[in-house]
Amino acid sequence: MASQNSDYDRALPRKRVAAGVLFFDDQDRVMLVDPIYKDPWDIPGGAVETDESPRAGAHREIKEELGLDLTPGRLLTVDWSPPRPDRSEGLVFIYDGGHLTEKQLAAIQLQPDELRAYEYVHLHDITDRLIPLLARRIHHSHHARAHHTTLYLENGTPSA
C-alpha cells in the first residue's frame, strides 16, 4: 500500500536508501558486477524503491540484475554515506548472500541494460576495481560476516 504523506512527513528530510548483497565463492572471493551505466565495478544491488524494505529491495535487485530469485541472508552492515558531488547522502544496507552453487551460477542471466559482466575477486584485489568507499564497506561487511555480527558504518568505516 502506498504511503499517504502528511504535511509533517513531507517536511522531513529525505535520504537515499540502497541495498546490496555479497556473494562468495569457495575461495572466499566476493562477487563484483560491471554496471553499464557507471564506472567502476560494484556489488549486486541498487536503490530501494518507495514503500519497499531494504531487504525486499535487495531481493528485487538480485532478481532483476542476475536473474536469481534468492532471499538475502543476514544483515552485515548499515553504512551512512555522506553527500558527494554526484549523490546525496544515503543509507546502504549490505546483506549476506552466502555461496552460490554451481547450479545457481549456471542460472545467472545478466540484465543486458544494467550489467556487462560479473566476476569473483579476492578481497585484497577489490581496491583495484572499486571506489574507496565501497572497498571499505565490503571489507567491513566481510569482517561482520566472519564474526557473525552486524556493523554500523559511516562513510565505510565503523563508528563508535
Cα–Cα distance measured from residue 14 to residue 127, given in angstroms and rounded to the nearest whole number: 30
pLDDT reported for residue 3:
58
pTM above 0.95, yes or no: no
Q: pLDDT tens-digit profile of 77-135? A: 999 999 988 889 999 999 999 999 999 999 999 999 999 999 999 999 999 999 999 99
Q: pLDDT tens-digit profile of 138-159? A: 999 999 999 999 999 999 999 8
pLDDT reported for residue 86:
83
- Top pLDDT among 12 and 25 is at 25
pLDDT reported for residue 93:
98
pLDDT at 1 over 60: no
List, in order of start, the domains of the chain with CATH numbers. 14-158 (3.90.79.10)
pLDDT reported for residue 9:
84
At position 2, the amino acid (one-letter code) is: A
Q: pLDDT tens-digit profile of 45-74? A: 999 999 999 999 999 999 999 999 999 999
pLDDT reported for residue 5:
77
- Report DSSP letters for 13-80, one per residue: ---EEEEEEEEE-TT-PEEEEEESSSSS-B-SEEEPPTT--HHHHHHHHHHHHH-------SEEEEEE
Q: pLDDT tens-digit profile of 4-15? A: 678 888 888 889
Mean pLDDT of the chain: 94
* Overall average pLDDT of the 35-41 stretch: 90
